[in-house]
Amino acid sequence: MEPTAGEEAAPKKFTDLPTEILLIIIANLETARDLRAVALSNRAFHRLVREDGWRLFVKARFPSLSVPNPALGRHDWQQLADSLTWQSRCWDRRALQFQALVPSNTPTSQAQGRRYQGGNQRLFHSVVDAHFDPETQQELVVWGAGEDIIARHRERSSKGEASKSSWHRIDGKEFGFKVGHDDVNAIKVVKHQTGRAIISGRHNGKLSLLSAEPDSFGEHLSDFLLASASESQSESQSLQTIDQSIYSVSSVNSVDVVHNTNSTLVAAATKNSVLIYDLGEDEISPETAPSTLYNLQENVFTSETSRLSRAKWMDHGETLALALGGTPNPLRYLAVTPNGWTHHTAAKNVDIAAQFELKDNGNLCPNSLEPVYRHAQSSGKTSLILSGWRDGTCRLQDLRTPSPFDTVYQDNIDPWTDAEALMSYGAERFIAGGGDGVTVKIFDFRWTKSYYHTSGLSCQGGLPFPQPSQAFIKQPTQKLFGRTECNFRHQSLCHWHEFSKSIYFRPNAKYFLSRSLSTLKNSSIWSFARGSDISPNFYIGISGGVIEANLEPCPNRYPPECATIDPNFGFKDWRGRAGEGSGYSNRMLSPMLMEIGDGLAFTGNDRPIRLPRVLECTGPRDFPPETIEASKHHRLDINYQNGKDLTSLATLALAQWSRERVRMRP
């Protein structure tokens, strides 16, 4: 039918559609492979995908991760998509490698790693923080090692060249600091007008700002003044001047930082008070007084045994989540109002408490508070907090109101272990560790995901393999068994793709690392840190040292033909030796892996169950050609693949079916 007067002709070709329609179609593509195929189809699509397609893909498939604007760094949107999909595949397949950074085996460094109190040997509790700058491709990791501070600077170099690394240390003894009394309790990397700096809070109550730049590392920039309990001011009162002599004898228990448009806010928690400092754009003075102090002893505490353990920024500086001890309501928050800061008890979801039989008896793990961001575009706005409790649960809840997002997580295999430290990756997953040795747990938040790496694999007709060990959830119903190909016209997936997205076939996992730490058998996890949401590595603060974890898939042949690190943000020489004079050495760890169920708390978690098998990290291997396709579809990384899984009758049938598909292609 010819268009009537005033009407536009209908588009004759796909490329004739309006750009807005094409971008909507592009934004709904599930895999980077599909988007790349569109870009290669013609020049118009190539330009459209380059200018807007990759940006839309990243925003749609990884909405909760904070990704840097390519205009500020040495990367583009396509590289971001490449790295984020690569990392997601590594996380799902449990492709993690670990190395320990521990004091060298010398008498001097042994004293640094092992402290003696009353004739008993004690390891320092390492607190760690990290920062990655996408503009310069520089990473800084710092940790408190007793009274000392250790740092490593690392910068990505051009392709084919090794990274540039340098180690630095602040020897506490040189400044008169003593073992135990002057240990570093909290540490944070912060950026200010002169570059990167470190905020360190010590057990003796000293809070300092130190330079973190390589050429001036450790240079003293400012002392943050604290008020003693007797000198503390009333709620929300501005403190203009405080005499240097009234440093509080109370320890600095935690430090947190939030960056606003024109300033950086620092929140320091002592036993009785929260102090807030404003690091504006002005020149930093040798002494920095708090802009606000909130005295919990006067406004909150009802018992002499009550104490504040941690303060964590939320809502972009408008809320402070608090972890308290010695009180029946340990999770609180401070909210800023026109009249100052006001105190509140976290909202309780009675339905969730009844469902999981939760008892708020004050047993909150003090260092476990972790904000959770469901949408990176929310500009730091969130009231969701994740916390660890002494009953072994990790609880996600809305501080302000009971919400449908509230839920409770737990190790289904060992439900009683505490999560002393937590770290979340947006709404994708979170990492937990505690006092059960050096055991790292990876939990999926179990919300509907926007990206599955399995969507990029070829169709299969069988169930995902190997069969997972799930203690409390049933295998999904096998509808239309044998559907071997996805039918996108009817919006139906093949059997394998459909069930690969099911929680049943995506169990959580934990890594046992204590066996590899023969000299630190009594070590535990106390902190986590990562440079950014796009960093393919993170750090674990343990008793007596630090562990670096890297996403790195194992090659299917040895030696590997190419690097298996993140192609855009990974450090190829991350296993390199520690710098001379650092007092540290590094060694690779051999983890053991166990899958620990769906991760959702269940009232029957304490009932006897059959333990899943423990998988050894075996390293590279050569698989027979007939099992290569099956190896790609295996749920786990090659490190943990069992030969029986690849040679079972079901798996061989899948491989045979794949070969038939290749043979029958025109």
The answer on 200 and 115 residing in a single domain is yes
DSSP 165-180: EEEEEE-GGGGT--TT
Query: Degrees (nearest 5) of the Cα angle 286, 287, 293?
Result: 155
What integer is the mean pLDDT of 482-509? 86
Q: Rounded to whole angstroms, how far apart are CA atoms 155 and 441?
A: 29
The answer on 148 and 192 residing in a single domain is yes
Write down the pLDDT at residue 540: 97
- For residue 612, is it within any domain? no
139-149 pLDDT per residue, tens: 999 999 999 99
The answer on 477 and 408 residing in a single domain is no
Residues 6+ apart with CB under 8 A from 263: 278, 279, 280, 281
- For residue 610, is it within any domain? no
Quote the domain boundaries for residue 476: 453-500+632-666
Half-sphere exposure of 404 (CA within 13 A, CB side): 1
- For residue 352, is it within any domain? yes
**Strands (DSSP E) found in 491-596:** 509-512, 525-529, 537-542, 545-551, 584-589, 592-595
The answer on 158 and 146 residing in a single domain is yes
Q: Rounded to whole angstroms, how far apart are CA atoms 417 and 146?
A: 26
Q: Compute the Cα dihedral for 11, 14, 17, 21 and give only its sign.
A: positive
The answer on 332 and 284 residing in a single domain is yes
Phi, psi torsion values for 653, nearest 5 degrees: -65, -40
Domain boundary among 65, 92, 119: 92
Query: Which single residue is written with the structure tokens 């008070």?
Result: 273
Inform me whether the pLDDT recorded for 25 exceeds 90.
Answer: no
- The answer to whether the beta carbons of residues 340 and 291 sit under 8 Å apart is no
Domain tally, the chain: 3
Phi, psi torsion values for 642, nearest 5 degrees: -100, 135
The answer on 237 and 221 residing in a single domain is yes
Q: Rounded to whole angstroms, how far apart are CA atoms 456 and 460?
A: 12
Q: Rounded to whole angstroms, how far apart are CA atoms 544 and 522?
A: 10
192-239 pLDDT per residue, tens: 877 899 999 999 999 999 999 999 999 999 999 986 333 433 333 333
**Residues facing 566 on adjacent strands:** none
Query: Which single residue is written with the structure tokens 């051999």?
Result: 590
Q: Rounded to whole angstroms, how far apart are CA atoms 105 and 113?
A: 10
- For residue 607, is it within any domain? no
Q: Rounded to whole angstroms, how far apart are CA atoms 568 and 269?
A: 37
Burial 165-189 (b: 16+ CB within 10 A, else e): bebbbbebeeeebebeebbbbbbbb
94-136 pLDDT per residue, tens: 999 999 999 985 333 344 444 433 333 468 899 999 999 988 8
- The answer to whether the beta carbons of residues 565 and 549 sit under 8 Å apart is no
Question: β-pairing, 319-325 with 307-314?
Answer: antiparallel
The answer on 460 and 443 residing in a single domain is no
- For residue 490, is it within any domain? yes
Q: Rounded to whole angstroms, how far apart are CA atoms 282 and 280?
A: 5
Q: Confidence band (pLDDT; 50, 70, 90) for 378?
A: low
As a whole number, the mean pLDDT across the chain is 84
Report residue 399 as tokens: 């501080």
